């Protein structure tokens, strides 16, 4: 954004400097003058000037003006407390209270209510209204999570503007008009949308209250605790509302570089999982085939014994919700105490996935996973979240932010709507962002690499052959939207050298939408088989699929699952279950018993993020700090501490006695984190790319010595994806067959299942089909079908979607039942009506 000139203006007789063009209401703050507002909220877009609370007198303008919509100019003379302005302010408060019930003593908002504050600060102190107020049935559900009290509503438009201009779900509307106006939805349908909880926070009165928080606490009984939500890679900054050592509510802690002050409903209501009765709150050790509560000493001993026995035949899977400290200590246990390089945090991809392209100057022809990873992680290629605001174009490829990193969906919508940023979307499954995209391209499930290679050829990268016509035309359309030198590529899925080449050719920056909340941090502290802490050269270990196969064939003996549930969350769920069943020893750190802990010999209870101390790294490189807001329940201990003890039992004394020491151990091994401390991270985090230490990012050009790779570690795996043969149009779909794609639905998760407020959102398995395929297969909306391939079968309900490409079908991954991770992306599956013959 261009720097605007500094000007001076007078507010209530005081000369105040401000940036030209700032709205008066904001500029006046520099002079310590508060102008009351209700409807003004810059995050909701252009000011609407509806509440009229911010009327001020400006010299030279006869009528009072709304300070929310008047840009400040040099020499402007503004009065906010003259008799005339005060009369107007008192009048507005009086008007707003004509229909407001003033039921503050029984209102959840009482004590933290802008209407109360402004009525006290700027109101006349008494009302002259003796006439009856308007009445509505109240409170009634606006959604299963929000109750609406229309009598309290002051019609400030905030919630409606959020729905229309931020979330763009357009569900909330103002119905009727004049004094009969009320907020509602078409036909009184429930307001179901993934971000709708934000309207609770936006509401300046008690009209929109959280079903989960209603009557749980008064503002004077609660404490705020700032932390980071680690339920997804957005890593939104949050405030935990704590009463009596329990989290009662989660609010946004506005960070323009991270979340823009919004939260998704998973982040807002998912705190309930911490209180779930099914939560594991003490260590468990399997005795007589059953997991039984044990003391920490017993559990640690059992864990150490199991891992010690496996030694270098142990492997660890570190789940995305783990902190940097947990990840660092887990990989350290594996690498140092056990001598095993088999640490993985990525569900798919990684070492053993040879790069698809063969020629080019930036990634060596024989490059392994580490070089590609280094390329994709380079500081100069990393886009910060707020760089989306200034980019001229955005490419979303291989991911749907709405499901994988919801807050990014809002961010992209914002820049497309307000800045006119050009958006291109290339995905297999129709994406939530399609509507705002200038161009969209669909490729067949499993053909992501085919598309990126076509795009690389299109933008002129060397070594790529022009794709077949249809695919090349799609790539050309997408490339046509992108502005060289001012593009951010938001990408998901497997690391892909072609994508890196596209970024180089377009001089674009990259922002990953990873599979795990702290995926970037875990990679950087060494939770990958291709590289050690700091993405350093290391003995090559096995990736997720190879670990699974190794456990199954006996070449690996023990599995250490750190906040990970691979049977549910990783590709090949049934194979994972079989592999863990065959493992000699399984140690799991988990909040809940699940399909993976079913095979565990020892389980350590995991912390909820609100109880955790440590750091995480945002996909854009921002290192953020987790602070405990509530005590850990029962016998739950800090996991960093448990890992330190386990490490000691296995013979590696870490010397770490506190979270700051754990961070400094990381900083000493990750050169580009060097010197980072909790103090430096503070409440806002710090992007490591912005620190001096970023210059220590490994060059990865082969200058460093390459260790010998142990023979057992580098067995080639079968490629997971089919060869890039073409786009969807060329996929022969016949008989009862479609090509299956899978996606992680936002609500197909343990969080939603364990949080009572969110449980209604947990999806049933659905098969999304194009209308022509539904016709071809004789299926109608809602039909139950069996989806089969290679002896695997699951039951799903048909959902017909116009925008699904013919020949493709999409299933949800990560469901508790009928989990689509049983199928490989791109696999051809047979679809038959349930009950019919296969």
Partner 1 sequence: MTETRMLFRRVDEPGLASIDTYRRLGGYRSLERAFRDVEPEELLGVLEESGLRGRGGAGFSMGRKASFLPRGETSKYLCCNADESEPGTFKDRELMQKNPHQLIEGVAIAALAAGAGWGFVFIRGEYAEVADILDSAVAEAYEAGYLGENILGSGSRVEVVVHRGAGAYICGEETALLDSLEGKRGNPRLKPPFPAIQGLYGGPTLINNVETLSNLPHIVANGAEWFKGFGTEQSPGTKVVSVSGCVQRPGNYEVELGIPARELIYGLAGGPSEGREVKAWFPGGSSAPVLTAAELDLPYSFEGMADAGSMLGSGAIIVADDSISIPELALRTARFYHHESCGKCTPCREGTNWTVKMLERVISGEATPMDLDIIASVQENITGHCLCVLGDSMAMPVGSMVAKFRAEFEERIRRVASDSSGLGANGAAGLHAITGTSSLAPASGPHA
- When asked if residue 92 is in the footprint of partner 1 (CB under 8 A), the reply is yes
Site string for partner 1, 166-195 (x = CB under 8 A): -------xx-xxxxxx--------------
Nearer to partner 1, 124 or 379 (CB): 124
Nearer to partner 1, 48 or 300 (CB): 48
Please report the sign of the dihedral spanned by the C-alpha atoms of residue 574, residue 578, residue 579, residue 583: positive
Nearer to partner 1, 56 or 588 (CB): 56
Given candidates 24, 27, 48, 531, which one binds partner 1 under the rule CB under 8 A? Answer: 48
- Considering the complex, what minimum distance in angstroms separates the CB of residue 204 from partner 1? 12
Given candidates 12, 19, 94, 593, which one binds partner 1 under the rule CB under 8 A? Answer: 94
Q: What is the dihedral of CA 658, 659, 665, 668, to 10 degrees?
A: -130
Give exposure, 785-819, as e/b (b: 16+ Cβ within 10 Å): bbbbbeebebebbbebbeebbbbbbbbbbbbeebb
- Considering the complex, what minimum distance in angstroms separates the CB of residue 110 from partner 1? 21
- Other beta carbons within 10 Å of 32: 10
Contacts for 13-22: CB closer than 8 Å, 24+ residues apart:
18/72, 20/71, 20/72, 20/73, 20/74, 21/71, 21/72, 22/71, 22/72
Specify whether the CB–CB gap between 262 and 280 falls below 8 A.
no
Nearer to partner 1, 163 or 235 (CB): 163
Give the range of 85-93, 241-249, 341-349, 397-405 binding partner 1 by CB under 8 A: 85-93
CA distance 484 to 422: 12
Nearer to partner 1, 48 or 583 (CB): 48
CA distance 433 to 437: 6
Cis amide bond preceding 139, omega within 30: yes
- Considering the complex, what minimum distance in angstroms separates the CB of residue 97 from partner 1? 9
CA distance 35 to 114: 12
Nearer to partner 1, 154 or 600 (CB): 154
3-state helix, strand, coil in the chain (%, to 5): 35, 20, 45
Given candidates 11, 56, 99, 490, which one binds partner 1 under the rule CB under 8 A? Answer: 99
Given candidates 29, 45, 95, 537, which one binds partner 1 under the rule CB under 8 A? Answer: 95
Phi–psi pair at 735, nearest 5 degrees: 55, -135
Nearer to partner 1, 95 or 296 (CB): 95
Given candidates 53, 408, 556, 591, which one binds partner 1 under the rule CB under 8 A? Answer: 53
- Considering the complex, what minimum distance in angstroms separates the CB of residue 34 from partner 1? 19
- Of residues 113 through 172, those in contact with partner 1 by CB under 8 A are 128-129, 131-132, 154-155, 157
- When asked if residue 55 is in the footprint of partner 1 (CB under 8 A), the reply is yes
Given candidates 69, 386, 390, 792, which one binds partner 1 under the rule CB under 8 A? Answer: 69
| Angle, helix 114-122 to helix 83-96, in steps of 10 degrees | 140
User: How far is C-alpha 69 from the chain's CA centre?
Assistant: 33
Give the range of 90-98, 428-436, 496-504, 531-539 binding partner 1 by CB under 8 A: 90-98
- Which one, of 801, 804, 766, 799, lies nearest residue 781 by Cα? 799
- When asked if residue 416 is in the footprint of partner 1 (CB under 8 A), the reply is no
- When asked if residue 552 is in the footprint of partner 1 (CB under 8 A), the reply is no
Given candidates 22, 29, 45, 49, which one binds partner 1 under the rule CB under 8 A? Answer: 49
Give the range of 46-54, 350-358, 478-486, 672-680 binding partner 1 by CB under 8 A: 46-54
Given candidates 54, 67, 88, 374, which one binds partner 1 under the rule CB under 8 A? Answer: 88
Q: Which residues pair with 832 in a beta bridge?
A: 786
- When asked if residue 510 is in the footprint of partner 1 (CB under 8 A), the reply is no
Site for partner 1 (CB under 8 A): how many residues? 37
CA distance 280 to 282: 6
SS3 299: helix
- Helices and strands (DSSP H and E) totals, the chain: 24, 36
Give exposure, 618-644, as e/b (b: 16+ Cβ within 10 Å): bbbbbbbbbbbbbebbeebebbbbbbb
Give the range of 94-102, 399-407, 718-726, 830-838 binding partner 1 by CB under 8 A: 94-102
- Considering the complex, what minimum distance in angstroms separates the CB of residue 686 from partner 1? 39
In the complex, the residues that contact partner 1 under the rule CB under 8 A are 46-53, 55, 63-64, 66, 69, 87-88, 91-92, 94-96, 98-99, 128-129, 131-132, 154-155, 157, 173-174, 176-181
């Amino acid at each position: 954004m261009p720097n605007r000139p500094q000007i001076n203006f007078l507010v209530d007789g005081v000369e105040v400097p401000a940036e030209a063009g700032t709205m008066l209401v904001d500029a006046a703050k520099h002079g310590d003058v508060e102008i009351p507002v209700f409807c003004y909220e810059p995050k909701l877009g252009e000011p609407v000037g509806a509440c009229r609370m911010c009327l001020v007198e400006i010299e030279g303008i006869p009528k009072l003006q709304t300070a929310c919509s008047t840009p400040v100019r040099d020499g402007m003379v503004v009065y906010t407390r003259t008799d005339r302005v005060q009369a107007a302010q008192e009048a507005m408060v009086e008007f707003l209270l004509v229909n407001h019930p003033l039921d503050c003593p029984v209102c959840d908002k009482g004590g933290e209510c802008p209407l109360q504050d402004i009525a006290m600060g700027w109101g006349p102190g008494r009302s002259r209204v003796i006439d009856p107020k308007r009445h509505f049935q109240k409170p009634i559900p606006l959604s299963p999570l929000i109750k609406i009290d229309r009598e309290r509503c002051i019609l400030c438009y905030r919630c409606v503007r959020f729905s229309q201009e931020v979330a763009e779900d357009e569900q909330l509307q103002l119905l009727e008009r004049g004094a009969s106006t009320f907020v509602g939805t078409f036909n009184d349908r429930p307001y179901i949308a993934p971000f709708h909880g934000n309207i609770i926070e936006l509401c300046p009165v008690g009209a929109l209250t959280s079903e989960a928080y209603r009557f749980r606490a008064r503002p004077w009984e609660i404490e705020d605790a700032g932390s980071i939500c680690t339920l997804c890679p957005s890593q939104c900054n949050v405030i935990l509302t704590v009463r009596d050592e329990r989290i009662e509510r989660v609010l946004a802690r506005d960070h323009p570089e991270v979340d823009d002050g919004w939260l998704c409903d998973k982040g807002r209501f998912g705190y309930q999982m911490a209180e779930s009765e099914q939560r594991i709150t003490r260590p468990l050790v399997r005795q007589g085939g059953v997991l039984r509560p044990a003391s920490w000493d017993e559990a640690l001993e059992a864990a150490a014994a199991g891992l010690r026995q496996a030694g270098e035949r142990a492997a660890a899977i570190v789940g995305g919700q783990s902190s940097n400290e947990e990840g660092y200590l887990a990989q350290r246990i594996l690498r140092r105490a056990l001598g095993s390089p088999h640490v993985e945090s990525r569900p798919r991809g990684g070492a053993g996935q040879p790069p698809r392209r063969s020629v080019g100057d930036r990634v060596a022809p024989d490059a392994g996973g580490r070089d590609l990873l280094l390329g994709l992680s380079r500081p100069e290629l990393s886009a910060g979240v707020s760089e989306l605001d200034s980019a001229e174009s955005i490419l979303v490829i291989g991911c749907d932010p709405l499901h994988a990193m919801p807050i990014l969906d809002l961010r992209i919508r914002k820049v497309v709507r307000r800045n006119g940023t050009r958006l291109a979307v290339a995905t297999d499954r129709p994406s939530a962002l399609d509507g705002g995209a200038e161009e969209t391209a669909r490729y067949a499930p499993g053909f992501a690499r085919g598309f990126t290679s076509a795009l690389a050829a299109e933008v002129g990268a060397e070594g790529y052959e022009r794709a077949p016509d249809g695919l090349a035309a799609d790539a050309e359309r997408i490339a046509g939207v992108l502005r060289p030198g001012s593009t951010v590529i938001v990408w998901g899925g497997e690391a892909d050298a072609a994508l890196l080449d596209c970024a180089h050719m377009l001089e674009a920056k990259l922002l990953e939408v990873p599979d795990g909340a702290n995926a970037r941090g875990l990679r950087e502290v060494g939770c990958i088989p291709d590289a050690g802490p700091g993405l350093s050269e290391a003995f090559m270990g096995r990736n997720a699929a190879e670990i699974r196969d190794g456990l199954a064939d006996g070449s690996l003996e023990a599995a250490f699952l750190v906040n990970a549930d691979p049977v549910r969350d990783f590709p090949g769920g049934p194979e994972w279950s079989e592999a863990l069943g065959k493992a000699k020893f399984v140690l799991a750190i988990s909040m809940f018993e699940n399909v993976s802990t079913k095979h565990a010999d020892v389980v350590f209870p995991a912390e909820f993020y609100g109880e955790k101390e440590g750091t995480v790294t945002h996909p854009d490189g921002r290192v953020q700090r987790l602070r405990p807001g509530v005590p850990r329940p029962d016998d739950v201990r800090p996991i960093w501490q448990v890992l330190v003890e386990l490490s000691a039992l296995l013979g590696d004394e870490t010397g770490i006695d506190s979270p700051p020491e754990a961070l400094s151990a990381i900083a000493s091994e990750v050169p580009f984190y060097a010197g980072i401390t909790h103090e430096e991270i503070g409440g806002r985090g710090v992007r490591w790319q912005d620190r001096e230490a970023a210059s220590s990012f490994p060059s990865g050009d082969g200058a460093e010595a390459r260790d010998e790779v142990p023979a057992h570690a580098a067995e080639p795996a079968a490629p997971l994806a089919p060869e890039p043969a073409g786009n969807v149009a060329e996929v022969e779909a016949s008989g009862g067959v479609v090509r299956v794609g899978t996606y992680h639905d936002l609500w197909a998760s343990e969080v939603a299942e364990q949080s009572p407020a969110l449980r209604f959102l947990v999806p049933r398995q659905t098969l999304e089909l194009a209308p022509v395929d539904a016709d071809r297969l004789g299926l109608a909306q809602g039909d139950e079908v069996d989806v089969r391939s290679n002896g695997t079968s699951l039951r799903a309900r048909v959902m017909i979607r116009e925008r699904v490409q013919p020949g493709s079908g999409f299933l949800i991954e990560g469901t508790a039942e009928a989990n689509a991770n049983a199928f490989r992306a791109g696999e051809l599956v047979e679809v038959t009506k349930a009950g019919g013959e296969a």
